[in-house]
């Protein structure tokens, strides 16, 4: 018999072993009382089993028989391994820490279409293998399509490999998506003609009702990358877009809202689980966090998660991890040192907030990366790279995130 294995952290008034059994029963063949409708052989086939408890760590391991799951159905999968258990009265806190899937189950998913190698081929970095530099167009919302396209052009000319919409920009009246797409792609075509470089634009197609139609319209309109907010739209949104054979562009996945699930160490769903499901669903790039940026993190979990995304997984392609949120040129070195070269380093405020504007901000990011790749100390490299020097002048101080938010930067 094959199983999906799930690891939980549990706090309960019940003894740990008993709490684990309550969870296993609720999430498979049981409920709070024996029911007369249950066939006598049912548990042997479909009951989830507690296979280990660690009293010291407060964790338990539960095996779910594979037959309990529908093939390729992530909503049903989550209802099983991450469903009612979070609200059971006697279970005070519970966190789904990790899942392990048998090959036969994982291989029913399409996984990423491009993976790291495929995206590197599009951008032309497969030989040098350097990290990619990306930007989030800022302000987050409010620019019209022309203003947005102008910012994209500047960022691309400054050296960005990837330009992306922010997670809250979709098809609002002030910036209709079709106009935004055509404006940006026109500018990126000019960048290609002027510099020979291909720059990707992750066009945010996140929506509830018509995400596949949006994806189709975007690709017809020339999009070279699509973007989806996975937790607000659901893993199935990625699966639905990935399933369309004609949509031959990579999918950039933003994890907005993840903190509601991931941040509390004692309750919720770990980012590791979200990463695994995103890879199954078909995301090519995924925001996983930073070692030096504005979002809260566990570096240990981040490193393990990025290693998972970059490594082998039942024959599915890998995923390009994205470090984003509060990044500026001085963050490039710690990010690369800890997370390696297969990394997209993204800066929004850290590019458009450069004292000399977007082109200089993008150049400063690339210069910081060049310094790291050639193992030259940043300050030395900045001596004849003025954009980097100006960025160091602005962001070189040792200030905490609270101070930055309180006093501005
Ligand atoms: C980036 C930004 C993104 C974060 C989200 O803007 O706010 O939405 O990447 O965080 P800026 P995460 O560069 O100005 O901070 O990537 O951790 O999900």
Per residue in 352-375, pLDDT (tens digit) is 999 999 999 999 999 999 999 999
138: annotated active-site residue: yes
Ligand 1 mutation pick, 134, 136, 364, 405, max ligand atoms within 8 A of CB: 136
**Helix 358-373, helix 145-158: angle, nearest 10:** 30
Q: Is 70 exceeded by the pLDDT of residue 61?
A: yes
- pLDDT value for 241: 98
Establish if 407 belongs to a structural domain: no
Residues 6+ apart with CB under 8 A from 362: 133, 135, 154, 155, 156, 157, 158, 159, 160, 351
274 plus 197 within the same structural domain: yes
CB 48 within 8 A of CB 27: yes
Residue whose token pair is 């590791």: 272
Q: Report which secondary-structure segment, H or E, holds 201.
A: strand 200-204
Cα–Cα distance measured from residue 19 to residue 60, given in angstroms and rounded to the nearest whole number: 9
Looking from the CA of 161 toward its CB, the CA atoms found within 13 Å total 19
For ligand 1, pick from 232, 290, 348 the residue to mutate: most ligand atoms within 8 Å of CB. Answer: 348
Report the CATH number that the domain containing residue 222 is assigned in CATH.
Answer: 3.20.20.110
- Domain match, 68 and 178 both: no
pLDDT above 80: residue 407: no
Residue 385 falls in the annotated catalytic set:
no
Nearest CA to ligand 1 atom 16: 324
DSSP for residue 114: S
Range of the domain at 385: 115-397
- Are the C-beta atoms of residues 200 and 222 closer than 8 Å to each other? no
| Residues paired with 162 in a beta bridge | 134, 200
Residue 129 belongs to some domain of the structure: yes
Does residue 370 fall inside a structural domain? Answer: yes
Q: Is residue 406 in some structural domain?
A: no
Task: State mean pLDDT over 156-161.
Answer: 98
Is the predicted pLDDT of residue 279 greater than 80, yes or no?
A: yes
Mean pLDDT of the chain: 97
- Look at the chain and report how many structural domains it folds into: 2
- pLDDT at position 409: 66
Q: How far is the C-alpha of 404 from the C-alpha of 120, rounded, in Å?
A: 35
Query: Residue 399 pLDDT > 90, yes or no?
Result: no
The answer to whether the CB of 335 is under 6 A from ligand 1 is no
Atom of ligand 1 at shortest range from CA of 290: 17
Q: How confident is the model at residue 397 (pLDDT cuts 50, 70, 90)?
A: confident
Report the share of the chain in percent with pLDDT over 70. Answer: 100
Q: Which of 7, 95, 132, 138 is catalytic?
A: 138
Q: What is the pTM of this model?
A: 0.97
Instruction: Provide the pLDDT for residue 124.
Output: 98
Q: Residue 230: CB within 6 Å of ligand 1? A: no
Tell me how far apart the alpha carbons of residues 88 and 23 are, in angstroms, rounded to a whole number: 8
| Both tokens assigned to 151 | 């910012």
Tens of pLDDT, residues 218-238:
999 999 999 999 999 999 999
């Amino acid at each position: 018999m094959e199983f999906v294995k799930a690891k939980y952290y549990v706090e309960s008034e019940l003894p740990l072993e008993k709490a684990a059994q309550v969870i296993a029963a609720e999430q498979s063949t049981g409920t709070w009382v024996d029911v007369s409708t249950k066939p006598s052989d049912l548990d042997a086939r479909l009951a989830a089993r507690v296979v280990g408890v660690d009293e010291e760590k407060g964790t338990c391991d539960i095996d779910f028989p594979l037959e309990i799951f529908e093939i390729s159905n992530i909503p049903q999968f989550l209802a099983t391994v991450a469903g009612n258990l979070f609200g059971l009265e006697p279970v005070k806190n519970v966190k789904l820490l990790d899942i392990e899937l048998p090959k036969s189950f994982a291989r029913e998913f399409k996984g990423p279409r491009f993976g790291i190698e495929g995206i590197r081929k599009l951008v032309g970095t497969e030989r040098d293998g350097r990290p990619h530099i990306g930007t989030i167009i800022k302000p987050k919302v409010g620019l019209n399509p022309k203003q947005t396209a102008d910012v994209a052009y500047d960022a691309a000319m400054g050296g960005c490999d990837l330009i992306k919409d922010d997670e809250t920009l979709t098809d609002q009246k002030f910036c209709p998506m079709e106009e935004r797409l055509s404006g940006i792609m026109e500018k990126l075509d000019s960048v290609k003609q002027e510099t020979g470089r291909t720059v990707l634009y992750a066009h945010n197609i996140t929506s509830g009702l018509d995400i596949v139609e949006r994806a189709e319209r975007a690709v017809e309109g020339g999009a070279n990358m699509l973007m989806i907010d996975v937790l607000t739209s659901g893993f199935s949104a990625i699966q639905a877009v990935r399933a369309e054979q004609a949509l031959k562009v990579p999918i950039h996945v933003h994890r907005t809202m993840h903190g509601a699930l991931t941040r509390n160490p004692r309750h919720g769903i770990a980012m590791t689980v979200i990463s695994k499901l995103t890879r199954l669903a078909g995301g090519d790039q995924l925001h996983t966090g930073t070692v030096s940026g504005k979002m809260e993190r566990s570096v240990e979990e981040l490193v393990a998660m990025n290693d998972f995304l970059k490594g082998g997984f039942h024959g599915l392609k890998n995923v390009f991890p994205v470090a984003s949120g509060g990044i500026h040129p001085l963050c490039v070195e710690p990010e690369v040192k800890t997370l390696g070269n297969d990394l997209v380093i993204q800066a929004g405020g850290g590019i458009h907030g450069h004292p000399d504007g977007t082109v200089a901000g993008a150049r400063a990011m690339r210069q910081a990366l060049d310094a790291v790749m050639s193992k030259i100390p940043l300050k030395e490299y900045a001596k004849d790279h003025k954009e980097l020097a100006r960025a160091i002048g602005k962001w070189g101080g040792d200030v905490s995130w609270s101070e930055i938010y309180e006093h501005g930067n």
